[in-house]
Amino acid sequence: MPRKSTRLTFAVLATGAGVFAMLQSLIAPALPTVQHALHTSQSTATWVMTAYLLSASVFTPILGRVGDLIGKKRTLVAVLSVVLLGCLLAALAPNIGVLIVARVVQGVGGALFPLSFGIIRDEFAASEVPGSISNLSAVIAAGGGVGIVAAGPIVSALDYRWLFWIPVAVVAATVLIALRYVPESPNRAEGNVSWLGAGLLSAWLVALLLPLSQAGKWGWGSARVIGLFAAAVVLFALWLLSEARSRTPLIDLRVMRLPAVWTTNTAALLFGAGMYALWSFLPGFVQTPSSAGYGFGASVTASGLLMLPMLVAMFFSGILSGRLEPVVGAKALLTSGAALGALALGILALWHSAQWQVALVSGVFGLGIGLAFASMANLIVGSVPASQTGAATGMNANIRTIGGSIGAAVTSVLVTGRLQPSGLPYASGYTHGFALLAVLCLAAALAALLVPTTRTSRLAGPARAAGQAPADPETVASATRG
């Protein structure tokens, strides 16, 4: 069967991945509205975010691996259908319990990222792969920004349920187009899903992320938090042992040890800490009444508009990175993106008394996000065997999320650790938090400098175009050593 249009295939992938990225952040500004509408407590309402985070973390690498084994298109369509069901359930949810379940179902969509990268690697010409991955990364990054910016106007003009009704329509159309126009990738990994590995991976991720997201309520020294962290360490060790002994591991640890992979993942962990924490705390900063000595008393809609420069900058820098990558290399782009993030957060820690300063920081940080997202994906895709694309890119996305959870948890301690008599945080809590995030982004830039200086992003495409079998991990490892 002849190949379908790569432009249409890309449009389908970008729509699906973009909607999922938007769902990540779309509900956050509307949580107070959801809490009031469903007559629940603030602590219960936060599970709308926590459940989504845990579900996405579990399903992203597992379904990425399933796509490598049984076919990426088949898995993509199934995942889109589940996301559609989750959005429909959320739009109709009569109470907070059903909404939380719906968010768990939506979290399955995290697999759209690795599946989309894998389809691009398998189906596009070698010369198109880096640019297409950069463009898709720009859409993913911008999707998160769209959620923050669009939430206020949608809730104000319609109702919070339209935060899910709109994705229902978009995802339904995407499923139909994907069924007809996205080709099934010919590359398949051998073996079966390691369900023991999948179970242990899920267990240690939940044991790690759950206390990070709930420690502010439970207390960092509580038995639940300490016990879950201890369980995460034990389960992680068991997972490593299981994967090392398995003939068909869920995540090939040899691939994870490749120089270009572990250095990129380290940078992803550190940059994710800065990025997600900024997304979480900057809206609260600008919404704080000026009577607190800082902030602007902005509405949800106005605070979203202050994030608009970030959205525009991350999209265009992500697109631009696809043109720059063949010239300067993905390593340079990742280093530059992380450094821009550190610069933006450093400026924010020192100057934040005017709205134009916040908007400027938002734009500079957006440039960094666009460059970093695109280059991370290209480095991973170009450094692993074709049969490991889904699992490897899924783990990279997960590691970025883990970093975000750590960054948000630590920043929360700094911001809420000492409160004014009014109950609002002191300005020093935010400035110390922003300064810490700047240091984390700077550390990400230093980690990016360790990435081997090779044309890794060209390893995958030529072999596929020439009909060659994908390289085994050891071959790729020798090719990527700098």
Does residue 343 lie within any of the structural domains?
A: yes
How far apart (Å, rounded) are the C-alpha atoms in residues 104 and 351?
Answer: 39
Do 158 and 211 belong together in one domain? no
- Domain boundary among the residues 247, 264, 288 is at 247
Q: What is the DSSP letter of 27?
A: S
433: in domain: yes
Cα of 338 vs its chain's centroid, Å = 15
Digits of tens for pLDDT over the chain (482 positions)? 344 568 888 988 999 888 888 887 788 778 788 888 898 886 788 788 888 888 888 888 888 888 888 888 999 999 999 999 999 999 999 999 999 999 999 999 988 888 998 898 888 888 888 888 888 888 887 887 788 788 888 888 888 899 999 999 999 999 998 888 888 877 776 767 778 888 898 899 889 888 887 887 788 889 999 999 999 999 999 999 998 888 878 778 888 888 999 999 999 999 998 988 888 788 888 888 988 889 898 887 888 788 889 888 988 888 888 888 888 888 999 999 999 999 999 999 999 999 999 999 999 999 999 899 888 988 988 888 877 777 788 888 888 888 888 888 888 888 887 889 888 889 999 999 999 999 999 999 999 999 997 644 344 443 333 333 334 444 344 333 33
Answer yes or no: are the C-beta atoms of 89 and 101 closer than 8 Å.
yes
Last residue of a domain, one of 225, 247, 269: 247
Whether 1 maps to a domain, the answer reads: no
What does each C-alpha distance from 470 to 121, 189, 321 come to in angstroms? 11, 10, 26
Domain co-membership, 72 together with 144: yes
* CATH number of the domain where residue 340 is located: 1.20.1250.20
Residue 198 and residue 187 share a domain: no
| Tally of domains within the chain | 2
Query: d(Cα 76, Cα 182) in Å, to the nearest integer?
Result: 10
Residue 417: count other Cβ atoms within 10 Å of its Cβ. 13
The residue segments making up the domain with residue 208 are 194-247
- CB half-sphere exposure, 90, CA atoms < 13 A: 32
Return d(Cα 256, Cα 193) in angstroms, integer: 18
Number of residues assigned to the chain: 482
Placement of tokens 């990742």 in the chain: 334
Residues 113 and 206 in one domain: no
Q: How many CB atoms lie within 10 A of CB 414?
A: 21
Domain shared by 235 and 260, yes or no? no
Tokens of 401: 């999320």
